[in-house]
C-alpha cells in the first residue's frame, strides 16, 4: 500500500494540492488524472520519493517499480543490465564489487567490503539476476538475441518494454507508470493493457489515452479543486460521477442562496418593527444556511471546430504506384489508392512502418508543405480540384516559425495567416484554444509543447482548409483537448488523413484505414471502420 497524509505542494501562489490524505490499495489499478499543469507528474514524483512534499508524509513499500520516462538514458547499457538496474541496491552492490575486483592489489579493507557486498547481493537474489531478468524480458517479447545488445540499438516500442521490465524487476509491491503508452504503437499499447490487467500489486498510471485508462484502471484518482478525489471505475466513470456530484452541490447551493435571499428580505422589512423574535430566528437560520463557496475546477476545455472556406472537388486525392525505399528498406512499394471528399482515413501500423513517410510523400509536391530534399522513388500523387491542405506534423514546434522575430506574440503570429481577419476574430479563436486575455500577448518562444499544439490548431481553425492531415496530433494534449479534437474531427465535413495510436480516435473518427505491414512494403487499403477491420483480422 502507498499512503499519503496531509501532503501539500504549491509553486508561488499556485496551489497544486493542499492537505491531501489518501491511500492506494494492493490489487487495485489507479489512473491518476487531471489537466496539463494540475500536478500529476509532481504527485507521482512525491510518491516515488524523487521529490519531497512541502508538507505531509508518504509511506511507500520497500520495493517500488517506477517506469523511467527517459528512453535514451540507458542507450550505452546492455539490455539485460538495464533491467537489473531496476533493483538499485543490487545494482550498486554489483558495480562496487566489480570496481574492487578490477584493482591490481586488494587491501584487507577491500576484502571485508567484498564480504559485505556479497551479503547484499545474496539478499537481493543477485546470483540469479541475469536469469531472472531474461525470463522477464522473454515474457515481454524481448527475445534472447536482443539481451546482449545496447539499448541504443532498440526501437522505441522495444525500449519501453525493457524499461517496463526494469520497473518490474525484483517483484515490486507497487508499480508507478507516468505515460507508459508514449512512443508505443497500437499493438504494443494493446499488449501493455493486457499485461497490466494481470498485475496483482498496486498500480498507479498517468496517461492521456482515454481508452487505455478505461481498459486498465479499476479506480481513478483525480487531481482537481486543489485536492485528490478517488472515484470507482475508469476515466469515463470518473467524469460521469464527478459531473453528477458537482451538479448536485451547485443545485444545493442555489437552493440555499434562494432561501437566504427570502430570509434576508424578511429581516430587512421587519428589523425595526415588533417582530424582533422572528427576525432573530431568521438571522440564526441565515447563519446556519450560509453557503460554502465551491472550489473552482482547474479543468479547461478547448473548443475546436474545423470549417472549410470552400469545399474541395469530389475526387480529392489519387495515388498511383507510390514507392519509397530507404537504402535496402522497402517502406511502401507500388501503393495505389484514391480518396473522395469527406473520407476520414487513419494510417495505422507499427512504429517505423512508414506512416509519416507516406504523409511526406503525399506533400512532396504541394507548395509550402513539401519537406526540403524529400523525394519519392516512383509513382505519382494528384490532388484534386480546389484542394486546400492544413498540415499538423509530428514536430509541430518546428513549424511555428518566428521568421527571425523571436519576440513575436501568439496573436501576432496567428494574424499572419489571415491579415484580413479582425482582431476580435483572432482573439475569439485564441480564447477557444485557451489563450485567454494576456495569453495572446505571450511570446512564441515561451510556449510549452501543449501550447504549441493548441496554436497550430488555432491556425487550422483560422485558415479553414478542406483537407486536414495530422501526424500524431495528441502527443502534447491532455484528455480534455484530445476529446475536443475527437469531436471536431467527427463533425468536420472535409477530408481527413490521420496518423495516431489513440484507440478512441481511430475507432470513432476513421471511416477507412491504410494499414502498414512490417517492412514488406505493403499497405492495406481497408474500406471501413476500425472495429470492422479488427473483426476480420482476429
pLDDT digits (tens, 9 = 90+) for 168-211: 887 888 999 988 887 777 887 888 888 889 888 899 999 888 99
User: H helices then E strands: how many in the chain?
Assistant: 18, 18
pLDDT value at 481 more than 60:
yes
Write down the pLDDT at residue 187.
80
pLDDT mean over 138-142: 81
Question: 128: which 3 cell numbers?
Answer: 540469479
Question: 115: which 3 cell numbers?
Answer: 564480504
Write down the pLDDT at residue 275.
67
pLDDT value at 149 more than 90:
yes
* 234 and 267 co-located in one domain: no
pTM here is 0.77
Count of C-beta atoms within a 10 Å radius of residue 214 = 19
pLDDT mean over 270-298: 67
What whole-number percentage of the chain has pLDDT above 70? 93
* 203 and 68 co-located in one domain: yes
Write down the pLDDT at residue 458.
95
Using an 8 Å Cβ cutoff, are 492 and 468 in contact? yes
Nearest in space to 434 (alpha carbons), one of 455, 412, 465, 405: 455
How do 2-11 and 55-59 pair as beta strands? antiparallel
**Higher pLDDT among residues 357 and 277, named by residue:** 357
* 452 and 387 co-located in one domain: yes
* 209 and 278 co-located in one domain: no
* 183 and 47 co-located in one domain: yes
Which H, E and C letters describe 35-95, residue by residue?
A: CCCCCHHHHHHHHHCCCCCCEEEEECCCCEEECCCCCCCCCCCEHHHHHHCCCHHHHHHHH
The confidence band for 436, taking pLDDT boundaries of 50, 70 and 90, is confident
Residue 103 lies in a domain: yes
Question: 235: which 3 cell numbers?
Answer: 476515466
Residue 296 lies in a domain: no
Residue 248 lies in a domain: yes
* 152 and 261 co-located in one domain: no
Write down the pLDDT at residue 513.
95
Residue 464: which domain range? 315-537
pLDDT digits (tens, 9 = 90+) for 327-374: 878 888 889 999 999 999 999 988 778 899 999 999 998 988 888 888
Question: 159: which 3 cell numbers?
Answer: 525500449
The confidence band for 305, taking pLDDT boundaries of 50, 70 and 90, is very high
Residue 281 lies in a domain: yes
pLDDT digits (tens, 9 = 90+) for 54-76: 999 999 988 888 888 777 889 99
Question: Out of 228-232, 414-418, 475-479, which region has the weakest mean confidence (pLDDT)?
Answer: 475-479
| Last-in-domain residue among 210, 238, 266 | 238
Q: What share of the chain is helix, strand, coil (3-state, %, to 5)?
A: 40, 20, 35
Nearest in space to 495 (alpha carbons), one of 417, 383, 399: 383
Could you tell me how far CA 85 lies from the centroid of its own chain?
Answer: 26
89 burial (CB, 10 Å; 0-12 / 13-18 / 19+) is: middle
What total number of domains does the chain contain? Answer: 3
Write down the pLDDT at residue 350.
80
| Last-in-domain residue among 214, 238, 262 | 238
Task: Report the C-alpha gap between 412 and 445 in whole angstroms.
Answer: 13
Residue 307 lies in a domain: no
pLDDT value at 49 more than 70:
yes
* 217 and 264 co-located in one domain: no
The confidence band for 289, taking pLDDT boundaries of 50, 70 and 90, is low
Torsion of CA 89, 90, 95, 96, to 10 degrees: 60
Residue 536 backbone zone (phi > 0: left; psi -120 to 50: alpha; other: beta): alpha
E-strand stretches of 327-474: 329-340, 344-348, 378-383, 389-392, 467-471
Residue 199 lies in a domain: yes
Task: Report the C-alpha gap between 228 and 30 in whole angstroms.
Answer: 12
Residue 86 lies in a domain: yes
Using an 8 Å Cβ cutoff, are 321 and 376 in contact? no
Write down the pLDDT at residue 505.
93
pLDDT value at 294 more than 60:
no
User: In what helix (H) or strand (E) does residue 193 lie, and over which residues does it extend?
Assistant: helix 186-197
Task: Report the C-alpha gap between 465 and 154 in whole angstroms.
Answer: 39
User: In what helix (H) or strand (E) does residue 323 lie, and over which residues does it extend?
Assistant: strand 315-326
- Out of 275-279, 298-302, 450-454, 520-524, the most confident range is 450-454
Angle at 316 (CA atoms; ends 500, 511), nearest 5 degrees:
40
* 219 and 257 co-located in one domain: no
pLDDT value at 78 more than 60:
yes
* 160 and 256 co-located in one domain: no
**Higher pLDDT among residues 272 and 522, named by residue:** 522
The confidence band for 103, taking pLDDT boundaries of 50, 70 and 90, is confident
pLDDT value at 415 more than 80:
yes
Expressed in angstroms, the distance from the first to the final Cα of the chain is 38
Write down the pLDDT at residue 360.
93
pLDDT mean over 16-22: 88
The confidence band for 292, taking pLDDT boundaries of 50, 70 and 90, is low
pLDDT mean over 513-530: 84
**What is the pLDDT of the chain when averaged over all its residues?**
87
Question: Out of 152-156, 174-178, 260-264, 494-498, which region has the weakest mean confidence (pLDDT)?
Answer: 260-264
Question: 480: which 3 cell numbers?
Answer: 480534455
Tell me, what CATH number does 525's domain have? 3.40.50.300
Tell me 458's DSSP state.
Answer: H
Alpha-helical runs (H) found in 198-309: 210-216, 235-270, 276-289
* 230 and 243 co-located in one domain: no
* 163 and 218 co-located in one domain: yes
pLDDT value at 440 more than 60:
yes
Write down the pLDDT at residue 231.
92
Question: Out of 33-42, 47-56, 96-105, 331-340, which region has the weakest mean confidence (pLDDT)?
Answer: 33-42
The confidence band for 418, taking pLDDT boundaries of 50, 70 and 90, is very high
pLDDT digits (tens, 9 = 90+) for 104-134: 888 889 889 999 999 989 988 899 999 999 9
* 461 and 421 co-located in one domain: yes
| Last-in-domain residue among 173, 205, 238 | 238
Write down the pLDDT at residue 519.
59
Instruction: Return the SS3 of 468.
Output: strand
Task: Report the C-alpha gap between 377 and 381 in whole angstroms.
Answer: 12
Residue 323 lies in a domain: yes
Amino acid at each position: 500500500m502507498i499512503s499519503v497524509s496531509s501532503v501539500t505542494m504549491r509553486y508561488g501562489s499556485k496551489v497544486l494540492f493542499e492537505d491531501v490524505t489518501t491511500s492506494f490499495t494492493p490489487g487495485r489499478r489507479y489512473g491518476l488524472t487531471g489537466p496539463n499543469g494540475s500536478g500529476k507528474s509532481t504527485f507521482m514524483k512525491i510518491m516515488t520519493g524523487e521529490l519531497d512534499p512541502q508538507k505531509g508524509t508518504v509511506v511507500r513499500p520497500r520495493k517500488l517499480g517506477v517506469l523511467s520516462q527517459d528512453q535514451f538514458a540507458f542507450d550505452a547499457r546492455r539490455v539485460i543490465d538495464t533491467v537489473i538496474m531496476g533493483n538499485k541496491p543490487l545494482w550498486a552492490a554489483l558495480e562496487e564489487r566489480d570496481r574492487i575486483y578490477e584493482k591490481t592489489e586488494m587491501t584487507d579493507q577491500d576484502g571485508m567490503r567484498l564480504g559485505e557486498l556479497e551479503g547484499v547481493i545474496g539478499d537481493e537474489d543477485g546470483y540469479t539476476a541475469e536469469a531472472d531478468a531474461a525470463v522477464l524480458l522473454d515474457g515481454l517479447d524481448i527475445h534472447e538475441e536482443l539481451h546482449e545488445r545496447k539499448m541504443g540499438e532498440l526501437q522505441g516500442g522495444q525500449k519501453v518494454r525493457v524499461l517496463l521490465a526494469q520497473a518490474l524487476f525484483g517483484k515490486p509491491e507497487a508499480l508507478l507508470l507516468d505515460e507508459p503508452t508514449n512512443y508505443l504503437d497500437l499493438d504494443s499499447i494493446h499488449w501493455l493493457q493486457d499485461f497490466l490487467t494481470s498485475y496483482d500489486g498496486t498500480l498507479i498510471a498517468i496517461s492521456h489515452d482515454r481508452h487505455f485508462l478505461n481498459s486498465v484502471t479499476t479506480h481513478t484518482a483525480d487531481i482537481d479543486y486543489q485536492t485528490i478525489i478517488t472515484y470507482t471505475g475508469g476515466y469515463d466513470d470518473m467524469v460521469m460521477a464527478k459531473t453528477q456530484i458537482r451538479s448536485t452541490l451547485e443545485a444545493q447551493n442555489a437552493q440555499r442562496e434562494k432561501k437566504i435571499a427570502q430570509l434576508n428580505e424578511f429581516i430587512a422589512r421587519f428589523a425595526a418593527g415588533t417582530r424582533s423574535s422572528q427576525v432573530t430566528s431568521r438571522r440564526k437560520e441565515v447563519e446556519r444556511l450560509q453557503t460554502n463557496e465551491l472550489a473552482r475546477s482547474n479543468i479547461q476545455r478547448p473548443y475546436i471546430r474545423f470549417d472549410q472556406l470552400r469545399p474541395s472537388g469530389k475526387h480529392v486525392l489519387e495515388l498511383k504506384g507510390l514507392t519509397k525505399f530507404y537504402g535496402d528498406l522497402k517502406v511502401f512499394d507500388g501503393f495505389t489508392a484514391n480518396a473522395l471528399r469527406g473520407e476520414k482515413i487513419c494510417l495505422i501500423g507499427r512504429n517505423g512502418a512508414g506512416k509519416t513517410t507516406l504523409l511526406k510523400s503525399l506533400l512532396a509536391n504541394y507548395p509550402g508543405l513539401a519537406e526540403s530534399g524529400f523525394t519519392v522513388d516512383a509513382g505519382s500523387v494528384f490532388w484534386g480540384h480546389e484542394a486546400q491542405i492544413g498540415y499538423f506534423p509530428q514536430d509541430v514546434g518546428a513549424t511555428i516559425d518566428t521568421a527571425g522575430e523571436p519576440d513575436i506574440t501568439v496573436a501576432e503570429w496567428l494574424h499572419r495567416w489571415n491579415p484580413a481577419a479582425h482582431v476580435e476574430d483572432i482573439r475569439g479563436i485564441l480564447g477557444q484554444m485557451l489563450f485567454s486575455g494576456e495569453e495572446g500577448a505571450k511570446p512564441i518562444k515561451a510556449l510549452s509543447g501543449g501550447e504549441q499544439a493548441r496554436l497550430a490548431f488555432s491556425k487550422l481553425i483560422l485558415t479553414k482548409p478542406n483537407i486536414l492531415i495530422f501526424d500524431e496530433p495528441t502527443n502534447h494534449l491532455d484528455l480534455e483537448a484530445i476529446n475536443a479534437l475527437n469531436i471536431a474531427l467527427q463533425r468536420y465535413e472535409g477530408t481527413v488523413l490521420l496518423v495516431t495510436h489513440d484507440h478512441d480516435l481511430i475507432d470513432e473518427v476513421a471511416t477507412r484505414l491504410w494499414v502498414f505491414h512490417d517492412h514488406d512494403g505493403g499497405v492495406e487499403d481497408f474500406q471501413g471502420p476500425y472495429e470492422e477491420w479488427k473483426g476480420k483480422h482476429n
